[in-house]
Structure 1
Amino acid sequence: MKLKTALLATALGGVAFGAAAQEVTVMSWGGAYTKSQVEAYHKPFTAEFGIAVNSVDSDNPATPIKAQVEAGNVTVDVADVEFSDAVRLCDEGLLEEIDLSILPDAPDGTSAEDDFIEGALQDCAVANIVWSTVYAYNTANVDGTPTTIGDFFDTAKFPGKRGLRKSAKATLEMALMADGVPAGEVYDLLETDEGVDRAFAKLDSIKGDIVWWEAGAQPPQLLADGEVVMSTAYNGRIFNAAVAEGQPLEVVWDGQILDFDLFVIPKGAPNKEEALKFIAFSTDTQRLADQASWISYGPARKSSGALVGLFNDGKTEMAPHMPTAAANLENALVNNFEFWVDNDAELNERFNAWLSQ
């Protein structure tokens, strides 16, 4: 009888384990961006597979992912991270490799590897969006019309506080472009001491007027509240504030910095198989197009582009608001992830030292 009871307990334990495994925890950036993923990915995934999606947020998911893996206490199955972080974490052995054969082909039969934009597929990561760091202004608080990245740094022409991300990345590139450096020469210059000094000298010119932000939801709020007249921001957050919430905010595309966000699986993720299934589902052609109806980030698949139409308000055409729209690319810089993998620690140390001066 005891043996039978033990066997029954073991069997029931297996059932309980199986049921518990039917979930996946996804970490992203919060706000309008997470909402776009919940609507386009999470809800349809659960409806199709019966696997619950637990959504958790972070100001930068790469930071807790690294901490969890190094501590041997991983609670996240999938994380949405920036390109340079995906490559760095993979190089450090903190991510699971992803077999790209799990990714579905495009509807016309084009293989996933040919359908994704160049660079969107990595050993440990699959991109879902193309986004950009831009700057925006509140039309109610600015006299005139800023049009260039130089205008962001011109507090004589456009007086008032400026919002900037508390990070070297993107901030240094924008400072150099504002100082007249062509986009194609920015990273070559940042490889030199003279270039780094020049970027910080440009930042010095507005240091007393800077309000620093760390979370993506902050810039639209700073602009709406009048705490700053201009702020760098993620383009989708400004779109959401302007179109969905009716705030008088305008994006300036000049000097934008394009980047990918990618899905990764932390090493030791408790639900790896469910994580792989989630990534394959969420990065198919239709799902990436669906996300673009919730926020103005470009899909990482070529085949998704033709399916992008209206915002979920049913009237706003999304195409002109995409960072990849032709008119928005006239003076754009593509983030050099290799540069930031190699120089992130050193430049952020210099940046933090500059902040404290």
Structure 2
Amino acid sequence: MEKQLTALALALALSSTANATELTVISYGGVSKTVQTEVFYQPFEAAHQAKLIAGEYNGEMARIKAMVDTNSVNWDVVQVESDKLVRGCDEGLFEPLDTQRIGKVADFVPGTLSECGAGLLVWSMTMAYNADALTDAPQGWADFWNVTKYPGKRALQRGAKFTLEAALLADGVPQEQVYKVLATPEGVDRAFSKLDELKPNIQWWEAGAQPMQYLAAKDVVMTTAFNGRIFAAEQSGAHIKPVWGGSIHAIDYWAIPRGSKNKELAEEFIASTLTPEAQKLHSTKLGYGSVNLHTAELLDKGIAAQLNMAPQNIKQSLAFDNEFWIDHGEELEARFNAWVARG
């Protein structure tokens, strides 16, 4: 009889596992996916009768659009950049969220909860340098452009976004005026003229790991980089330092592709990643800012000071303007690509 009960219990357990709902979550891979698996995915699986399938992509909206248009959606939650979230929401690619199931607006950084997305993290495009190579620390974008005082190559992400803002900041445009200036033909010309000055000294990067590699090899004296990459380099003992003045910050979001068969479970998953405790682990291990305002009180003070959301760092930062890049991004990227191709 005891053997029969044991066999029955095992059968029920196997049946339960087989019947568990599968939730597919897509992020950007790499170190981010490794950390998210540890601090988000595994705890959610343990707390729910669900099997979480972790995937990755490079942010291609065309893949989401193809799934939605053909009614073949097999992703339940996807990480998207802020401007892509707005565009995708307008195009009907994402499910409207029941934000009451996710949390209270007052608990989060402004802009965290929107019609189709819930913010996951605050990241910054930040200047960085190798302190072993530069004893005189650069202070901002004017120094980035100053090849007389700081001879050598600089690395920039190959794209108009962030690059044009940096060029105007280097040319003396106040942070609060950057997007107003860049919205004019004269402002665009001014940004590209400033880039002309630096062009012979630019080494482009396209993958997030490249800036730290360039600095470590001393191929460049300064670079732009995702602040989480700088944090990881610092944690590993490298003498890589951020320059927070003129950094540009934005929110990455979780969104649910329209047509997901697991919308409610997906919202439960999103909510579980936005608690102060989950956000603390995420920030501590990955180095990106938390969207939950109650995370700061849980963080080690040394770690908190290294994050982009530390008060002394974020006050020096420019907020990325989603609407500007939705309105002007296509034309500016086309002009940028043509400018790069001219050599």
Task: Give TM-score, length-normalised by structure 1.
Answer: 0.85
Partner of 1:58: 57
1:139 lines up with 2:124 in the alignment: no
- Does the 8 Å contact 2:280/2:299 carry over to 1? yes
Structure 2 residue runs of 5 or longer lacking an equivalent are 1-13
Match among 161, 170, 194 for residue 178 of structure 1: 170
- Does the 8 Å contact 1:29/1:59 carry over to 2? yes
- Does the 8 Å contact 1:183/1:331 carry over to 2? no
1:263 lines up with 2:262 in the alignment: no
3-state DSSP of counterpart to 1:121: coil
Separation in 1 of the partners of 2:77 and 2:275? 16
- CA-to-aligned-CA distance 1:22-46 (integer Å, 9 cap, x gap): 2222222233322332222112111
3-state DSSP of counterpart to 1:298: coil
Shift in alpha-carbon separation, 1:64–1:17, aligned structure 2, 3 A: farther
3-state DSSP of counterpart to 1:324: coil
- How far is the alpha carbon of 1:236 from its aligned partner? 0.9
Partner of 1:337: 322
Match among 295, 298, 312 for residue 327 of structure 1: 312
Separation in 2 of the partners of 1:305 and 1:187? 30
- How far is the alpha carbon of 1:259 from its aligned partner? 0.8
Separation in 2 of the partners of 1:335 and 1:238? 19
- How far is the alpha carbon of 1:174 from its aligned partner? 1.0
RMSD of equivalent CA atoms: 2.2
Partner of 2:297: 306
How many residue pairs were aligned?
A: 329
Moved more, 335-344 or 60-69: 60-69
Structure 1 residue runs of 5 or longer lacking an equivalent are 1-14, 105-111, 311-316
Separation in 2 of the partners of 1:271 and 1:18? 17
- Does the 8 Å contact 1:103/1:284 carry over to 2? no
- Does the 8 Å contact 1:61/1:80 carry over to 2? no
What code does the residue aligned with 1:326 have? Answer: P
3-state DSSP of counterpart to 2:294: helix
- Counterparts of 1:1-357 in structure 2, within 5 Å, are 19=18, 22-60=21-59, 62=61, 64-70=63-69, 72-104=71-103, 112-243=104-235, 245-309=236-300, 317-357=302-342
- How far is the alpha carbon of 1:247 from its aligned partner? 1.9
- CA-to-aligned-CA distance 1:84-106 (integer Å, 9 cap, x gap): 111111011111111112114xx
- How far is the alpha carbon of 1:258 from its aligned partner? 1.3
- How far is the alpha carbon of 1:126 from its aligned partner? 0.1
Separation in 1 of the partners of 2:158 and 2:21? 38
- CA-to-aligned-CA distance 1:256-310 (integer Å, 9 cap, x gap): 0111111011122354343222112112232112211212222111122212226
- Does the 8 Å contact 2:290/2:309 carry over to 1? no
- CA-to-aligned-CA distance 1:325-349 (integer Å, 9 cap, x gap): 2221343211111111211212111
Separation in 2 of the partners of 1:189 and 1:343? 13
Task: Give TM-score, length-normalised by structure 2.
Answer: 0.89
